[in-house]
Amino acid sequence: MSHRTLPQPPHRTTRHTATPSPATAVTSAPPAATPPPSAGQLPSAGHSLSTDEPLPADHPLSTHEPLPADRPLAIDEPLSIWPGSAAPLGHDDLAVGGVPLTEVADRFGTPAYVLDEAEVRHRCRAYLRAFPGADVFYAAKAFLCRAMVHWVREEGLGLDVCSAGELELAVSSGFPPARIVLHGNAKSPADLRAALRLGVGRIVIDSTSEIARLAAAVPAGSRQKVLIRVVPGIAAGGHAKIRTGTDDQKFGLSLADGSAQHAITRVLSQPRLELVGLHCHLGSQITTVKPYLSAVRRLIGLLARIHEQHGITLPELDLGGGHGVAYQPGEPTLDLLSLGDRIRAELAGGCAASGLPVPRLAIEPGRAIAGPAGVVLYRVLSVKRTGTHTFVAVDGGMSDNPRPALYGVRYAPRLIGRRTSAAPERVTVVGRHCEAGDVLAADVRLPGDIRPGDLLAVPVAGAYHLSMASGYNLVGRPPVIAVTAGHARLLVRRESLADIQERDIGL
């Protein structure tokens, strides 16, 4: 297998201005250059990826400044998991997308999600380069808003949605429904009606009971293209709650017990359904290639049996997503180019051995595109020292990030906006909610003089934060601010008390 070095997204040579108005760009000096990452690596942020080609004149980013094809890494190791545009400023501030994070916090308040638009776009392009000729569907469940829909469409990706809500938002934002795939282990009648009304490209069948229900809903004289979600019996993923390739969870149809084969026969008997391929999803936070290769082998075996028993050749194979990213410096990430090379080689070799044409490949990255592009900002509300423990409480918590409580995810918060010479101490960053499990970052190192009013920034916060946010304690969900080329703009406004009260219609 050959190794290729991926080019880096740009830093921006701009100047720092102190106090922007909402319409004023905020800019900062770039970090110094350091060597590129290892070949083929899809890093979690500081090693982010860009396109090999210049942007066209009408590209949304070209109106700010051109994007060169190289970008240095962050100048210190802790920035390795930050967006590639992250640059240290004076007074221990940090800029992302050319915008000082302290000024984002001052302008938009906290908690707040910050999303680096260029990082999202570069990661979309990296997937297209790593999987030439394949369909890349962005997994909307990671994070979705109207701007994200536009970015994904403009970068040439499809979209993977899981509900009528995600679907309607995408289509109403101009996304072509033919490039959308609908998932879900228990699709509601409203989900299916919306998919058929809007004309989604594919519906992934997840249970045998869904087959007749979907077929009955398809208008007479038309056919809906479908995939069968197969459970290949492969355990992969960073936590038991996010492993979906085994028979002991709710998704898909088992290969081992014959459920998948039975569903295939049932779909083929429905004239209003057109079976075009197989689908599988192994789990999330997978950082090695091996599970995907095992899945390819098992699915090729099923494709061969389908050809033998039914005399048909299915033209598509969707391997889902689950590509792991690092939440702390030094954690492993999935080698994207190696993944693409080895999957294509395994698929070509296996199909040749089985006498099958190579199906069109599809993948569904979500976290690996959105996660490393995001940062969340918090204000410290209190510092409490109890025995041997120090608790740093912030103005957010499990309502804007339930993932530490759900999966034990470990984050790496950083103090920004204040210079200190205090030695670091072990502390636990906790939220403001009435739960002992409301812990955002356990046993992390922060300066020993951490105090109320300080600003903390947490990287790798672009996926499964706002999309999983709740209304717990009625604190309101944070806003999303896009930063790029020294400009900051609001994408999703903060949920207000008025928003919450308007939904409560009274006695």
- Is residue 145 part of the annotated active site? The answer reads no
The candidate with the shortest Cα–Cα distance to 31, out of 53, 8, 65, is 8
The contacts of residue 435 (CB under 8 Å, 6+ apart) are: 398, 405
Catalytic residue among 124, 145, 351, 434: 434
Coil, strand or helix at 138: strand
The CA-based angle 453-454-458, given to 5 degrees, is 130
d(CA 404, CA 413): 13
Q: How far apart are CA 238 and CA 232, in angstroms?
A: 18
Task: Return all residues near 230 (Cβ < 8 A) that are at least 6 apart.
Answer: 252, 253, 255, 260, 278, 279, 280, 299, 302
Two structure tokens written together for 496: 């207000």
The CA-atom distances, in angstroms, between 131 and each of 181, 287, 306, 335, 363 are 18, 17, 26, 13, 9
Q: Count of residues for the chain?
A: 507
Which run of H or E residues covers position 88? strand 87-88
Closest by Cα among 381, 377, 343 to 362 = 343
- Using the Cα atoms of residue 229, residue 234, residue 240 and residue 242 in order, give the sign of their dihedral: negative
How many angstroms separate the Cα of 422 from the Cα of each of 75, 263, 446, 449, 455?
22, 63, 9, 6, 16
Give the tokens for residue 340. 């693409």
SS3 call for 411 = coil
Question: What residues act catalytically?
Answer: 434
